[in-house]
Chains A and B, each alone.
Chain A
């Protein structure tokens, strides 16, 4: 009987402690948040070659884990309005899904966290922190505690998002622009 009670209590504790990750955006809602003035989004299927992956790694200094990249070309009234990219970076335990929007000149227009499942570090969703990326272009240093301020308690998430943006700016420079 005691064993049954122990198991029941354990199950209750475990289930109470299990909290599923938070989804903040779908692709559609992230696109609207990144381009509030409105835009049409044209999917651009993109599979990086090994040479492209190596070139991006060399240019950005950030490891490229996946060859598949989810990219949309944004247009407005038939004219280029920028790019919309959905990307994943490693959180401490799970992946952090975010969207990066670039304007037509290749500058960062917006960073939106779409899915965050980590225990700590949700501060990366703060508008002020994400605003640090606005206007950054390829070649920007994008280094934590230098041109991007860290958030204490969210260091791993801050660093991986920062690295991710740097990698995507290289992707834009070396692949999408051509």
Chain B
């Protein structure tokens, strides 16, 4: 699903150019020729910026589509499913808390994953959103009141494991996710987004595999974000890390965090916003199913034209709570 670290952008309020490039709510489906986005810098993309972007492409993302059994809500491991085995996952993510008003954004993702070899797995997922918000009408996070569900889109991913964390000194896997999204996840505005999100997943285990450390690094290129957003394309650099400890048979407790920065028009000089979410997670696994619960508040955030108070709300929220359930078959 397109969302671990990414929260695309959104509507702004009542007809004035909005912080972070937000579009006036009533004009969500209409071009805005006169709208001025207040970037921190305006310059053509530099060679260095593209080199950085390509370097990130070799790395990877931190979206939320699944893979194998997951100890964290927003961080992936470097394992893959054994050949011929499959899993089905259901995610439910609550994003809540804006600068003002009441905001509840739910993301539901159903994903099926299959191991085609012992090193390669692929997945397909269906994404749905439900929004319930009222009074979110500040300068930095203006949204229309809503009580509606929207089809988010579809996503596909492939993951190839280079080294196993159980056998080699370091587990390494490459993952590529792509998807098509009809409605954005901030408040369900229409869009026609196609995204491509490469990622590298690292995993190091300690103490007989009872302490699991994961690191994901990646990027995401997205096209077709209009008319939900002002700008048609953007690139995001993202990373996530987590540490989990098996404190009892079947049980893991951990801490995780993820950081993401977005740049419209694939221009790394044009910073839009960045966030750091971090919090605890707990995981339980039985023989044929597992469940993970994670709570990550926004620890730090910064957005263009938003108050410099350590949070950003134009596209982000105060809290993300994610419940994942997976079944093996």
Q: Which residues of A contact B (CB under 8 A)?
A: 13-14, 17-21, 63, 65, 89-90, 92-95, 117-120, 144-145, 150, 152-156, 159-160, 163
Contact = CB atoms under 8 A, between A and B. Distances in A.
Interface of A: prevailing SS: loop
Contacts of A152: 82-83, 118
B118 A153 contact: yes
A20 B287 contact: yes
A5 B263 CA distance: 45
A154 B167 CA distance: 11
Contact of A153 (B82, B207, B289): B82
B211 to A, nearest CB: 11
Nearest to A117: B287
B53 to A, nearest CB: 35
26 contacts: A17-B286, A17-B288, A18-B289, A19-B286, A21-B287, A89-B208, A90-B209, A90-B210, A90-B246, A92-B209, A93-B287, A94-B249, A95-B249, A118-B287, A119-B69, A119-B287, A120-B82, A150-B167, A152-B118, A153-B85, A153-B115, A153-B118, A155-B167, A156-B209, A159-B167, A160-B209
B77 to A, nearest CB: 11
Interface in B129-147: none
Contacts of A65: 208
Given A63-B208, A120-B82, A156 B166 contact: yes
A18 B287 contact: yes
Interface string B114-135: 0100100000000000000000
Contacts of A118: 287
Given A13-B327, A93-B286, A154-B82, 13 more contacts: A17-B288, A17-B289, A20-B287, A63-B207, A89-B208, A92-B285, A95-B249, A118-B287, A144-B167, A145-B167, A152-B82, A155-B167, A159-B166
B288 A18 contact: yes
B38 interface: no
B149 interface: no
A150 B166 CA distance: 11
Contacts of B246: 90
A20 B288 CA distance: 9
A22 B83 CA distance: 22
A152 B164 CA distance: 10
Nearest to B164: A155
B83 A153 contact: yes
Contacts of B118: 152-153
- From A13, A93, A163, name the one whose CB has the most chain B CB atoms within 10 angstroms: A93
Given A14-B289, A94-B250, A120-B85, A160 B167 contact: no
Contacts of A153: 82-83, 85, 115, 118
Nearest to A63: B208
Contacts of B167: 144-145, 150, 155, 159
Contacts of B96: none
B135 to A, nearest CB: 27
Nearest to B283: A93
Nearest to B80: A153
